[in-house]
Each structure stands twice: as structure tokens, then as C-alpha cells.
Amino acid sequence: MSDLKTEAGRECSAAMVEAKTFGELHFGDADLGDARRTKRLVRIADAIMRHPGGSLPEKMGSPGELEAMYHLMKCREVTHARVLAPHLALTRKKIAEHDGFVLAIHDTTELDFTTRESLADRGQIGNGSHQGWLCHNTLMVDPVQREVIGLGNQILHCRPITQKKETVAEKRNREDRESLLWIQGVQSLPADEEIVDVCDRGADTFEFLEHEVTSGRTFVVRSSHDRSAILGGETSAQKSMLHDLARSLPSLGQWTMKVAALKQRKTVRKTVDGKRKSQTVSVNRKSRDAVVHVSASRVTLLAPKRKRGHHGQSPLTMWVVRVWEPHPPEGAEPLEWILLTNHPCMDFESAHRVKSWYECRWIIEEYHKGQKTGCGIEKPQFTSSDRLHPMIAILSVVALSLLNLRELSRRDDAKSSPAARLFSVEYIQVLSIWRHGTPKPNWTLYDFCLALARLGGHMNRKLDSHPGWMVLWKGWTKLQAMIDGARTQKSTQNCA
């Protein structure tokens, strides 16, 4: 197991066999203008890591700690950028030490603060009836173990109020348009072809694709716009529409994949009477095994005649990869991904690799759930944005570390790696006594995580699926209370 994978696992707990606590590791180098402020930030992060859920009073544990936290957030030097800076530096260090590809998964989520009327600089979110910020995250992920290495970037964006009759040129020249978030999100990343920018359909703009072609990194973007394109790299060939070209390509091979159940409401855009309109639809998909195919070819995208972003008119040469389900069950919507990439895809193996990279994109969706449901990132009752934004940074890093708890029990070496490599003897002892009535110092990582899940409500039955992050978080929170109780009992015995 590489040093990186060991370190990624270590971050899941403040109790790991590591000289630094969670707060020291991720925030200990924060430059807040006073060393005492940095120490306070570290203590706050450690407290939240022990109790990630609930309100701020529940996270901090005591009135004194809560008041100290509020006092720190008032300081002008304590900003979102300064609080997040040491974690971003730690992530860059790990990327430099990593051997092989690293995914930079980009996506935006909405943070809803509609009820906080004192936050004057909020913007419209959702359908316009709610207020808050867009949070554009970049997650750095190991594609083999699917462990989160850290945040590569985070941007808090206020959606501006625009004129109803804003022209294309006016929108293109506006520096606060949302489409620029994708470019801003990747600008801080190194020009390394083993860093793979993975983006959903929102990033499918010619402006962003042009930026990526010259970035020095690899990219995978799911296609949304059916652009004019030419098969191959010759611009003199006959042009067609990109999606038609992708669907005409022969299969390079097939495999069977598990399609997870899905129940959600999503917004789709349809053409009705020649006009593009948004419509909310319900998606109810049952779990199933699907036989899917993959095809790939080099393709040249032609620049749009109507420029909606700042880009040139030169065509862009890249690869198109199509993943599709030719024979879906009756009544089921067939699977289809059309992906754009600069990773050469001349055979099944390379095209399948691109597919697997994009498949990791769901991790950032889970991360957004972790931010909101797990850490309650929309719950803090601050009356000023300047005080709220640093707390968003802290909670975002806590959500990252706890998200990795789920991956620990699923790692290839989980049943052979000693739990003591990642967790302290105290945590192993308390949890094993609770589970079996006796200490189990030789527990494996798998044993520890399964017991943690049981503490959170997972039944550990053979036919049960792997524990999810929410049940593990519940177990983690309960374990903290048990640790506090064990320490109090030990202190009482020492005083007797």
C-alpha cells in the first residue's frame, strides 16, 4: 500500500496514529495574522471532527468553546481563502507524491440560506425563489481506490441579478457569469497530463474545451451540445453533428455493469413549438444489471458561429467516447454517455478507462450530500457572510475526511491491514469491547469499519450491502461519546 493511500486513510479520524490531530494536519499552517487564532482554528476543527452533525452548539460541545468560535469568525483576517489555504497546500503535496493518474472532479452545488435575510450578498438559487451561494468544488480522487485525496479548489459564487433582455455579447463580457466557474476551478491545478479534469454536462462549452486542450492536463467532459463536428482530424472532411457521429461508431467491446436504483426529480430542457423550455420530471429507476458497449474515435469540433464565451475560431481535435446500452429492459430509459476527452482512445482498454474515470463523478455528488446532510453546512446562524464563509471552509474539509470512512471497508487490503495502522489503540479497544465484550487489538481495518457501521445502525448481515457514509457517520459520532466516557472514567479512577 502506497504512502498516499495510507495517508488518505489516516485523515478519516482525529484519533489516527499520527503526530498531528485532524485540525493540525489540515489547518495548522493557516496564516491568520496571530498564532493564537491558528491554534483556536485547530481546536475548532478537532471539535467539529468529533461531532460533525447538528448545529454549531452541538458540534462545539460547551458554551465556552462556542463563544470562542464565534469570536474567531469575527476576525477580519479569518477568511474563506485563508482558512482553506493549508488544506489546499496539503492536497497539492499529496498530488505531487502520487504515482499515476489523479482525478480532479468538478461540480457545483447550491447552498441555501434563504431564511438568513441579514446575509445581504446572497444571490438567487434554484428557480429564483431561494437565496444563497453556488459552491463550486474540485475533488482530487485516486481513481484506483476511489479515495478522496482532498479539495483542489472551492469557489463560493454569488449569482448576479441580470437584465431580462441581456444580449449574447453582454453576457459573454460579464466577468461574473457562471460558465466561467469551470475555468476558474481548474486554473490552480498543475499542468500535468496525469491530472484528469472530470466534468459533467455543465462544462460543455467551447470556451472551456479550448482552455482544456491547452491546459497540459487530461480531461473528460460529458457532451451536452450537439455541435458541428468532423470525424477524424481532417478539417476538409464532411461535417456532421457530433452525437450522430458518435452513434454511428462501431462497438469496441461490451461488459456488464450494475445500474443503481435512482429516485429523484431533475430539470430537463426540451424544445416545444420551436422554443427551449425547462421542465421538471420524476426519475424512478430500478436497480439492474445492464450490458453496455463502448465506442471511440478521433473527432474535430468546429467553433460555433455565435460566440457565447471568449474563444478562438480554430477547430479543436480530441476524442469522442460513447457508452451505451443497446437493449434496455422494456420501459427503462437506455443508458448513454457521450464523452469528450484528449486521452487517446484507440482500443477498448483506453476507451473503457475514460468511462471509468467519468464513472467516479458520483463521488462529488456524495460529497455534496456530506456537506449538507452530514455536516449541516447550511445550518450555521451567522448574520454576516464574512463570518459564515470561513465556517463553510472548515465544514467542507470535515466532510471530505468523513466521506473516506465509507471507502475504508471496501479497499482491496481491508481484510488484511491491521486497524492499528490507521486508528489508535484507544479507539480499537473501546469499539471492540462494545462489540464483543473484550478488547480485539488484532482487528483488521474491515473489522473496525464493520463494527463502526453496526454502532451506527448497520446490521452487518451477509446479504446487506456495504455500509454507506451516513450510517458510518452515525457510528463515528456515537464512538466519540463512548471515548469521552472512557476517558472520564479513567480520569476519575486516577483521582480516586
DSSP 8-state code for residue 297: E
How many alpha carbons lie under 13 Å from residue 184 in its C-beta half-sphere? 16
Structure confidence by residue, pLDDT tens digits, 70-92: 999 999 999 999 999 999 999 99
Range scoring the smallest mean pLDDT among 25-29, 154-158, 268-272: 268-272
Alpha carbon 267 to chain centroid, angstroms: 21
Q: Give how far Cα 16 sits from Cα of 13, 101, 481, Å.
A: 6, 27, 17
Q: Of 342, 473, 469, whose CA–CA distance to 48 is shortest?
A: 473
Structure letter (DSSP) for residue 466: P
Q: What does the pLDDT look like over 278-323, one tens digit per residue?
A: 566 666 777 788 999 999 999 999 999 888 899 999 999 999 999 9
Q: Which of 56, 54, 58, 50 is nearest to 22 (CA)?
A: 50
- pLDDT, mean of residues 14-18: 40
Check if the beta carbon of residue 391 is closer than 8 Å to that of residue 382.
yes
pLDDT digits (tens, 9 = 90+) for 361-392: 999 999 999 899 888 999 998 999 999 999 99
Amino acid at 52: P
Q: Look at domain 408-495 and name its CATH class.
A: mainly alpha
Residue type, 181: L
Confidence class for position 11, pLDDT limits 50, 70, 90: very low
H/E segment holding residue 254? strand 253-259
Residue 125 Cα to chain centre, angstroms: 20
pTM score: 0.86
| Segment 195-234, tens digit of pLDDT | 999 999 999 999 999 999 999 999 999 999 999 999 986 6
C-alpha cell at 127: 428557480
pLDDT at residue 494 in the model: 80
Domain chopping of the chain, boundaries: 3-79+383-405, 201-360, 408-495
Residues facing residue 278 across a β-bridge: 269
Indicate the Cα dihedral angle 232, 236, 241, 245, nearest 10°. -30
Write out the H or E segment, with its range, that includes residue 221.
strand 218-222
CA separation for the pair 419, 416 (Å, rounded): 9
User: What confidence category does residue 405 fall into, taking pLDDT thresholds of 50, 70 and 90?
Assistant: confident
Separation between Cα atoms, residue 307 and residue 256, nearest integer Å: 41
Query: CATH code for 201-360?
Result: 3.90.350.10
* Residue 31, CA atoms < 13 Å, CB-side half-sphere: 3
